[in-house]
Amino acid sequence: MGLANDKFPSSAAFDAINEALTASDADRKDAIKQGNAVFAFNLKNSAGETDSWHIDLKNKGAVGKGLGEKPTVTLSLSDSDFGNLVQGKANAQKLFMSGKLKIKGDVMKATKMEPILKKAQSKAKFASAGTTYGASLGCAWLGAVIIVMRACIRLLV
């Protein structure tokens, strides 16, 4: 059973990330060592429904439904905006500055995702709305989130 929810088309990205994390035990352990955090994502669809996913890089090195156990960082945005980030059609920094992307928790931990994502980008692929996106697009939204995190850090320091 996959992580994607048909009511949230962009959620297919979570299957791709999970696939990349679970493909190699060594890569998974390395991701946990580097990440040491639980990253939660809250998405809201056009019908006003919400759903959540998490990337556990603290304990299991896997992706799951729900917020996970004590998320370190929580990102909230619409499914549409999330999908646009996945496809490279939106800018995370602009979404953040316009209030469409909300960040809660330890912003510094989000920067730990960058080396992990580079590995995931070389492996991840997912399908959305009948289109298969390559690895660079599959995790592009996470790279964009890192840019937002760095911008937040500059604002906080």
* Helix, strand or coil, per DSSP, at residue 38: strand
The pLDDT, as a whole number, for residue 91 is: 74
The reply to whether 141 falls in a domain is yes
pTM comes to 0.74
Range of the domain at 116: 9-156
The reply to whether 99 falls in a domain is yes
Phi-psi category of 79—alpha, beta or left, where left has phi over 0 and alpha has psi -120 to 50? Answer: alpha
The reply to whether 72 falls in a domain is yes
What DSSP string describes 122-157?
TT--EEETTEEE-HHHHTHHHHHHHHHHHHHHHHH-
Average pLDDT, the chain: 75
**pLDDT of 124-146, one tens digit each?**
444 334 444 334 444 444 555 55
* CATH number of 58's domain: 3.30.1050.10
Measured over the CA atoms of residue 68, residue 55, residue 43 and residue 99, the dihedral's sign is positive
Query: Do residues 2 and 19 make contact, with C-beta atoms less than 8 angstroms apart?
Result: no
Give the Cα separation of 79 and 29 in Å (integer): 30
Q: How many structural domains compose the chain?
A: 1
What's the chain's Rg over C-alpha atoms? 14
Burial class (CB in 10 A: 0-12, 13-18, 19+), 61: buried
**Above 50 in pLDDT, residue 52?**
yes
